[in-house]
Amino acid sequence: MRRISKNANIDLRNFDNATPLHLAAGKKKNGDAVALLLEQGAAVDLVTYNGDLPLHTAAASGKEQTVRLLYRKGNTKTTSKVLVLKALPDVASARSPIIKIPINQYGKMDINDIRISPLLSVADSPDLVVYLLSRGAHIKIRNNLGETLLHLAVQARNTELVNFYLEYGLSANDKTLRGDTPLTYAVQSGFVEIMDLLLEYGADYKTTNPFNKNLVHLALAKNQREACRRLVTLDINLNQLDRNGISPLHSAAGRNYCDIIKILIENNANIDIRKNATPLHMAADREECGDAVAVLLEQGAAVDVVTYNGDLPLHKAAASGNKQAVKLLHRKDFQIRKNRCGPTPLMMAEAFAKTINGVLN
């Protein structure tokens, strides 16, 4: 490798305020270049506009040898703390042991005396979690969303770590700032094995979010059929209405989730539940939900229930252009009523057709 000219500015900055040492340290195969720059007196304590030392860029690249080399040149307690804070997310994603370098160097360093706990960055890396806990990291740390390590382990679908955190004493019922528990995360992602593990450790399956939605609402919103199948075996109110008067069955009907509709009805969900509209109204009111209408009718949904406006499910189907629903509902033997506004389902269908034709023409 060529020597550096005596007249060259070895710490010349670029537009990011980075020096040649920053750039060399950020490349995995530039160990020789880093060694040469250090030999020629390159400064190890200069920072970029983002506040990064060469040590940070080396740690982010996962180059342990370079980190050790730089660390020996600038091994202050302050530097070790900054390394933990700035570089750990990238190091943790590579499952690198680099983070142990500053912590091992300063055995009494308080790794909780950092704005962001290292544990939050390695929450899904069992070996590093165990290591940091052995060095005194606080296990009950939370991130800025109010998530605990258990929430993060559930998100990562790491059953081993979920079990570890539960055995270590983390609560299965801690809530985030949005009111989500670890079980909420597992349900929404359909992680049934983790759901069972959390339930074993006392997770509250009757929990609701700020919108009064229970876990069944949340599972079917993500079309998590197996999670729904597991939840209906618990003592959860399948007829619970959220703030908008929507039950889980309403929600499934309005999304055309036919399998979940069947699961709910088979487990005694009220097929005609309503604050105003029934699940059949909800399905009929959406053009793409004809299959849901068919399933609800097969299961015995009432076709003659009216909303506050006097609308039958057929009115809703006609207004939305749900042809499949119109055909199915019209076959039923009931008297077509006028709603309070006057028009019959046929008149509403004609109005819908005229609107569509006007747009097309």
Could you report the per-residue pLDDT of 34-79, keeping only the tens digit for each? 888 888 888 888 888 887 878 777 777 767 777 777 777 765 445 5
Question: Per-residue pLDDT for 88 more than 60?
Answer: no
Asked whether residue 330 is assigned to any structural domain, the reply reads no
Chain-centroid distance of CA 286 in Å reads: 28
pLDDT confidence tier of residue 338, bands split at 50, 70 and 90 = low
Residues 135 and 86 in one domain: no
Indicate if 14 and 103 belong to the same structural domain: yes
239 part of a folded domain: no
256-281 per-position pLDDT tens digit: 999 999 999 999 999 999 999 999 99
> Do residues 33 and 100 both lie within one domain?
yes
Q: Is residue 332 part of a domain?
A: no
Q: Which of 54, 85, 109 lies at the terminal end of a domain, its last residue?
A: 109
Q: Which of 147, 177, 207 is the last residue of a domain?
A: 207
Q: What is the mean pLDDT of the chain?
A: 83
CA 16 to chain centre: 33
Task: Indicate whether 141 and 176 sit together in one domain.
Answer: yes
Q: How confident is the model at residue 305 (pLDDT cuts 50, 70, 90)?
A: very high
Q: Are residues 14 and 98 in the same domain?
A: yes
Residue 154 falls within a domain, yes or no? yes
d(CA 250, CA 139): 41
**Which SS3 state, helix, strand or coil, does residue 91 take?**
helix
Rounded CA separation 80/71 (Å): 8
Exposed/middle/buried for 150, CB within 10 Å: 0-12, 13-18, 19+? buried
For residues 9 and 103, membership in a common domain is answered with: yes
In a domain, 264, yes or no: no
Number of domains in the chain: 2
Overall average pLDDT of the 4-32 stretch: 81
> Domain check: are 143 and 93 in the same one?
no
Cβ 218 vs Cβ 211: under 8 Å: no
> Which structural domain range is residue 182 located in?
119-207
Indicate whether 103 and 191 sit together in one domain. no
- Asked whether residue 160 falls in the same domain as residue 73, the answer is no
Q: Which of 119 and 275 is assigned the larger pLDDT? A: 275
> Could you tell me if 151 and 97 lie in one domain?
no
Tokens for 222, please give them.
């993500």
Domain boundary among 207, 234, 268: 207
pLDDT, tens digit, 9 for 90 and up, residues 226-261 = 999 999 999 999 999 999 999 999 999 999 999 999
Q: Tell me whether residue 358 is in a domain.
A: no
Whole-prediction pTM:
0.71
Task: Supply the CATH number for residue 3's domain.
Answer: 1.25.40.20
Residue 347 lies in a domain: no
Verify that 92 and 172 share a domain, yes or no: no
Kindly tell me if the per-residue pLDDT of 165 is higher than 90: yes
The two tokens of residue 301 are 């949904």
Residues 6+ apart with CB under 8 A from 283: 253, 254, 256, 289, 290, 292, 293, 296, 325
- Considering the domain architecture, whether residues 105 and 126 belong to the same structural domain is answered as no
